[in-house]
């Protein structure tokens, strides 16, 4: 599985060069050029790693790093700092960043740091925390629904194993339109056919547990004639 990297960097040339290189290394890259958008992205989609420039328009990288941690995200953060910002990297590490590289950096060096962070991420944190608006999902190893804690505005939500599997699949494919057939195959292991109604029933029960107003879902939305899309997001 390709790892997802979020790049928050306002220097366009560097942004392009970096995403090119990351693509070549086999990563999926999403990039934004200001701090506010960076926060929105980081809290609405699941990433395996976030690369943060410090000097950014909107919200600087240090504030962004702190806000990401405050929002409950355990995603590894790598800071990009300029030489003149040596003090900032210490602050950055205190605010929850995992590592930093100083500009101008050697691409090879950066790739090695990224690889190291991705490798140690699950061991270091021992858990994955994902936040979609008021919904917070904490997992240990992602193997079993009993290892998952789901809360809504701090209140615990209890999910069945199937509901968890469905939610996990939605999270891993956030923003994508998923057909009932695909969900049935991925979550239940059934071939498409007579059981597609099963998906609707489980989506309805997930909505009942997760949505502010289950009749007007904002998290798992219906896409007419196509299926469902998991949205989530900071504005929710
Ligand atoms: Ca910058």
64: confidence class by pLDDT, cuts 50, 70, 90: very high
Q: Cα(81) to centroid of ligand 1, in Å? A: 8
Task: Kindly report, as residue ranges, where domains of CATH 3.40.50.2300 are found in the chain.
Answer: 4-118
Angstrom CA distances, 130 to 35, 67, 138, 171, 234, stand at: 19, 14, 6, 9, 12
Environment class of 134 (CB within 10 Å of its CB; exposed 0-12, middle 13-18, buried 19+) = middle
Domain with CATH 1.10.10.10 in the chain: 128-235
Mean pLDDT of 161-174: 81
Residue with token string 């890259």: 29
Rounded to the nearest whole angstrom, what is the distance from the C-alpha of residue 107 to the centroid of ligand 1?
17
CATH 1.10.10.10 fits 128-235, yes or no: yes
**Cβ-proximal residues to 155 (8 Å cutoff; 6+ apart), any chain:** none
Q: Is the pLDDT of residue 223 over 80?
A: yes
Instruction: Identify whether the C-beta of residue 54 lies closer than 8 Å to the C-beta of residue 92.
Output: yes
Q: Element (H or E) spanning 8, and its range? A: strand 4-8
Average pLDDT over residues 110-115: 91
Q: How far is the CA of 80 from the centre of ligand 1 (A)?
A: 9
Mean pLDDT across the stretch 181-204? 81
Structure-model confidence comparison of residues 134 and 28, the more confident one: 28
pLDDT band for position 34 (cuts 50, 70, 90): very high
Percent of the chain with pLDDT over 70: 87
Q: What is the pTM of this model?
A: 0.54
Query: Poorest-confidence range of 9-18, 68-77, 129-138?
Result: 129-138
Determine the Cα–Cα distance for residues 66 and 91; give it in Å rounded to an integer: 10
What's the whole-number mean pLDDT along residues 118-123? 59
Choice between 150 and 132, residue whose per-residue pLDDT is larger: 150
What's the rounded Cα separation, in Å, for the pair 61 and 24? Answer: 25
Q: How far is the CA of 27 from the centre of ligand 1 (A)?
A: 22
17 CA to centre of ligand 1 in angstroms? 14
Which pLDDT score is estimated for 51? 97
Backbone angles phi, psi at 113, to 5 degrees: -65, -40
Residue 12: which H helix or E strand, with range?
Answer: helix 12-24
How many angstroms separate the alpha carbon of residue 24 from the centre of ligand 1?
23
Rounded distance from Cα 46 to ligand 1 centre (Å)? 24
**pLDDT classification of 205: cutoffs 50, 70, 90:** confident
User: What fold characterizes domain 4-118?
Assistant: Rossmann fold (3.40.50)
- Taking the centre of ligand 1 as the mean of its atom positions, its distance from the CA of residue 142, in whole angstroms, is 35
Ligand 1 centroid – CA 54 distance (Å): 6
Q: In angstroms, rounded to a whole number, what is the distance separating the alpha carbons of residues 210 and 119?
A: 32
Biggest distance spanned by C-alpha atoms of the chain:
64
Asked if the model's pLDDT at residue 122 lies above 70, the reply is no
Question: How many A from CA of 88 to the centre of ligand 1?
Answer: 13
Please give the distance, rounded to the nearest whole angstrom, from the Cα atom of residue 13 to the centre of ligand 1: 11
CA of 26 to the centre of ligand 1 (A): 25
Beta-carbon contacts of 200 under 8 Å, excluding residues fewer than 6 positions away, are: 180
Ligand 1 centroid to residue 53 C-alpha, Å: 6
| Cα-to-centroid distance, 60 and ligand 1 (Å) | 9
CA of 96 to the centre of ligand 1 (A): 19
Ligand 1 midpoint to CA 9 (Å): 6
236's CB contacts (< 8 A; 6+ apart) are 132, 133, 134, 218, 219
């Amino acid at each position: 599985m390709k790892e997802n990297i979020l790049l928050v960097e306002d220097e366009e040339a560097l942004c392009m060069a970096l995403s090119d290189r990351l693509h070549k290394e086999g990563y999926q890259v999403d990039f934004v050029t200001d701090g506010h958008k960076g926060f929105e992205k980081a809290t609405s989609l699941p990433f395996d790693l976030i690369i943060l420039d410090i000097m950014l328009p909107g919200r600087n990288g240090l504030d962004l790093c702190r806000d990401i941690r405050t929002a409950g995200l355990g995603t590894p953060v790598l800071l990009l700092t300029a030489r003149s910002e040596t003090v900032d990297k210490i602050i950055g590490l205190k605010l929850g960043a995992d590592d930093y590289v100083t500009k101008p950096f050697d691409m090879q060096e950066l790739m090695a740091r990224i690889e190291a962070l991705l490798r140690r991420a699950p061991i270091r944190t021992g858990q994955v925390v994902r936040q979609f608006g008021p919904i917070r999902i904490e997992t240990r190893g992602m193997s079993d629904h009993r290892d998952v804690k789901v809360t809504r505005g701090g209140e615990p939500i209890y999910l069945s194993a199937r509901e968890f599997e469905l939610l996990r699949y939605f999270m891993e494919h956030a923003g994508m339109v998923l057909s009932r057939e695909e969900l049935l195959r991925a979550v239940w292991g059934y071939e498409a056919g007579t059981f597609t109604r099963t998906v609707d029933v489980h989506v309805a029960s997930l909505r009942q547990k997760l949505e502010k107003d289950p009749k007007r879902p904002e998290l798992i939305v219906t896409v007419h004639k196509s299926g469902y899309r998991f949205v989530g997001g900071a504005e929710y």
